[in-house]
């Protein structure tokens, strides 16, 4: 009795998916399409020919650059968390300087990446 219910359930699922009318080739195509939807290809950037762009490319590809930017993001987050109502003038000045510093750091990162990777 249970196996009949399970078989009928599986038949209904196939009917709703439309798989009962597919040929084996069509079923294989659907399987491949589903696999492609869930596959994320790795994008490998191409080294530029221009000397300046090549130097920027090498900088932004380096592990040290990635770690430096990650550290800047973390420290910036900490500074953003420190900001509060009623803070002293000294803390206000420190936060302002830190904010301006991080704007410069992240702008330099953006310029280096756009120059090294191109707009594509």
Most confident of 12-16, 39-43, 45-49, 73-77: 73-77
DSSP H or E stretch at residue 39: none
Per the listing, tokens 């020919």 go with 49
> What pLDDT, in 10s, does the model give residues 50-76?
999 999 999 999 999 999 999 999 999
pLDDT at 120: 65
Q: What is the pTM of this model?
A: 0.64
Determine the distance from the C-alpha atom of residue 32 to the mean position of all C-alpha atoms in its chain, rounded to a whole number: 24
């Amino acid at each position: 009795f249970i196996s009949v219910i399970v078989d009928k359930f599986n038949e209904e699922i196939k009917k709703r998916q439309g798989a009962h009318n597919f040929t084996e080739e069509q079923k294989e195509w659907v399987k491949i399409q589903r696999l492609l939807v869930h596959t994320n290809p790795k994008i490998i950037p191409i080294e530029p020919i221009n000397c300046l762009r090549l130097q920027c490319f090498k900088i932004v590809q380096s592990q040290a650059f990635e770690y430096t930017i990650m550290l800047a993001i973390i420290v910036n987050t900490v500074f953003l968390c420190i900001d509060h109502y009623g803070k002293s003038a000294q803390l206000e000045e420190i936060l302002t300087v830190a904010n301006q510093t991080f704007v410069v750091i992240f702008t330099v990162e953006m310029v280096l990446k756009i120059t090294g990777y191109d707009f594509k």
